[in-house]
Amino acid sequence: MSHRGSEAASGPVDSSVTKFNWLMDDIILDLEPLQPLKLAVSEYGIMGTTGRTRVGVASTLSGCHSLHFVDGLVVLQPMIRMQKRLKARFWREQGLPVLIWWGVCSVAVAASADDGLLASQTQPFDPKSAPMRLRVAGHQLLTEQGKMVRLRGVNIASLEWSDRGDHLAEAFEQALRQWKADLIRMPLAQDRWFGKTPGQHDGGAAYRDLVDKLVATCAGAGGYLDLDLHWSDCGKWADEGGRLAQHPMPDAHSILFWRDVAVRYRNHPQVIFGLYNEPHDVPWTVWRDGGQVTEPPPKRATNQPPIVYQAAGLQQLYDTVRAVGAGNVVTASGLDWGYDLRGLSQGYALSGTNILYETHPYPQKQDWDTSFGQVCRDYAVYVGEWGGRAKDLEYAQRLWDYMNRRGLSWTAWCFHPFAGPTLIRNWKFEATEFGQFVKDALGKQTGD
């Protein structure tokens, strides 16, 4: 399907200079002749003009406008990865970074209009924590001073299914102080972040404030917090009838989520961004670059039609984080419910820096060397979820030994009595059999 630029409210498009071709999911800007397109990059997108010619087009993709006018300039949303064949150069003009393109620019998936949702301001952090800033070099996680870091901890769930969470203050205190965790992985829901569930009436303000407090709690205890995007909505908000749950891939709203979260915790030394939990049932091309996804109905609602939506790729989510100037370490889960990282060695690794690839080797997953072990030689890998029951203690010992030999950071699932496999029996934080193994492992100072 193809559309040409047409007259816009702020002035006509000179088709002899610029034309827009739409090819399914891609936006192709073809300049005729090779007229530079000036684009000023900001945290909200890209503003551009071609000399005196103003250009614009409205997207035909559902729920988004990729190009629109703001103060006489055209805004392209979102700021995401561009094709490598572009010729480009940067300079600064009036204090703003400016990008000039010659040739063709491709955009994989457009973000939905933000509708005023993006309101976060960067939260302050204690300057004394700056030495705790992390970076990735080769297959290692390091401090800024170059010292190898190995983090170990637990997942603390509930903010994906609840606006207020379950016993979070006590859980953080127990995990950080009593169990000696130095990394917490905390699942979040993009709709709750923006107040887009039926029970929220404050635009998500209380939810965001709660996350702020937990970031401060973790940082104050000398730990790190991995903010994990766990539940999404296939591009339809929950308060508009969308299904907020765990899905195969992120969507256009996930881009908005990371644009706002990344601004809020931009360059916080102790905050890690978990781009998306457990992608599955898509090819590696869609995992990286996005594309159409068809999700079958839930098993308990087989009479419902499948959900078809345009997925955002993990490269887009990464680029969204970096576009607002956030250099935080990000985690990228593999396929097969976050387990399989083989695609990295097949040419599907993300482009960028400070990327920690994530695997979830639960007991039923046994081919560790093939699925993620061999990747550890070239890429930094983190075990974001692992866990089991009393019958799985032999598996626990084998995996713990495996992680120790490779120096992998990890967070066990789950520090919640009702989110199995559980580490605690109740809200008195009494450990299960498996939880006791994890608690003992966290307390050990050897084997790193």
Task: Provide the pLDDT for residue 301.
Answer: 75
Q: Which of 49-63, 99-113, 128-142 has the lowest mean pLDDT?
A: 49-63
Predicted confidence band at 3 (pLDDT cuts at 50, 70, 90)? very low
Predicted confidence band at 7 (pLDDT cuts at 50, 70, 90)? very low
**pLDDT at residue 438 tops 60:** yes
**pLDDT at residue 405 tops 80:** yes
**pLDDT at residue 109 tops 90:** no
Predicted confidence band at 111 (pLDDT cuts at 50, 70, 90)? low
Question: Pick from 159, 14, 143, 150: which is nearest to 445 by CA?
Answer: 150
Predicted confidence band at 37 (pLDDT cuts at 50, 70, 90)? very low
Q: Is 348 helix (H, G, I), strand (E, B) or coil?
A: coil
The string of DSSP letters for 227-278 reads EEEEEB-TTS-GGGT---B--SS--HHHHHHHHHHHHHTTT-TTEEEE--S-
Q: What is the pLDDT of residues 203-218, one digit of tens each?
A: 999 999 999 999 999 9
Average pLDDT of the segment spanning 171-194: 98
The identity of residue 143, as a single letter, is T
Task: Provide the pLDDT for residue 110.
Answer: 55
**pLDDT at residue 147 tops 70:** yes
Q: What is the pLDDT of residues 318-377, one digit of tens each?
A: 999 999 999 999 999 999 999 999 999 999 999 999 999 999 999 999 899 999 999 999
- Given a contact cutoff of 8 angstroms between Cβ atoms, the answer to whether 441 and 151 are in contact is no
Q: Percent of the chain, pLDDT > 70?
A: 73
Question: Pick from 262, 260, 253, 204: which is nearest to 231 by CA?
Answer: 253
Q: Is 156 helix (H, G, I), strand (E, B) or coil?
A: coil
- Given a contact cutoff of 8 angstroms between Cβ atoms, the answer to whether 235 and 188 are in contact is no
Q: What CA–CA distance (Å, rounded) separates 241 from 307?
A: 12
How many alpha carbons fall within 13 Å on the CB side of residue 375?
A: 27
Predicted confidence band at 393 (pLDDT cuts at 50, 70, 90)? very high
Q: Which residue has the higher pLDDT, 434 or 76?
A: 434
How many alpha carbons fall within 13 Å on the CB side of residue 76?
A: 27
How many alpha carbons fall within 13 Å on the CB side of residue 173?
A: 7
Task: Provide the pLDDT for residue 65.
Answer: 26
Strands 96-102 and 37-42, sheet pairing: antiparallel
Q: What is the pLDDT of residues 237-290, one digit of tens each?
A: 999 999 999 999 999 999 999 999 999 999 999 999 999 999 999 999 999 999
Domain annotation for the chain: domains and CATH numbers: 18-107 (no CATH), 129-443 (3.20.20.80)
Instruction: Give alpha helix (H) positions in 311-415.
Output: 314-323, 335-338, 368, 393-406
Predicted confidence band at 29 (pLDDT cuts at 50, 70, 90)? very low
> Which tokens sit at 300?
């308990």
φ/ψ (deg, to 5) at 318? -60, -50
Question: Pick from 285, 141, 139, 319: which is nearest to 226 by CA?
Answer: 141
Q: Which residue has the higher pLDDT, 183 or 305?
A: 183
Q: Which residue has the higher pLDDT, 253 or 144?
A: 253
> Which tokens sit at 89?
């150069």
pTM more than 0.85:
no
Dihedral sign, Cα of residue 255, residue 259, residue 265, residue 268:
positive
Q: Average pLDDT over the chain, rounded to whole?
A: 80
Query: Cα 152 from chain centroid?
Result: 20
Q: Which residue has the higher pLDDT, 120 or 425?
A: 425
Q: Which residue has the higher pLDDT, 12 or 414?
A: 414
Torsion-angle region of residue 49: left (phi > 0), alpha (psi -120 to 50) or beta?
beta
Measure Cα distances from 237 to 58, 155, 247, 372, 384 in Å: 22, 26, 14, 34, 27
Torsion-angle region of residue 84: left (phi > 0), alpha (psi -120 to 50) or beta?
alpha
> Which tokens sit at 316?
């887009």
Predicted confidence band at 119 (pLDDT cuts at 50, 70, 90)? confident
Dihedral sign, Cα of residue 286, residue 64, residue 196, residue 41:
positive
Task: Provide the pLDDT for residue 179.
Answer: 98
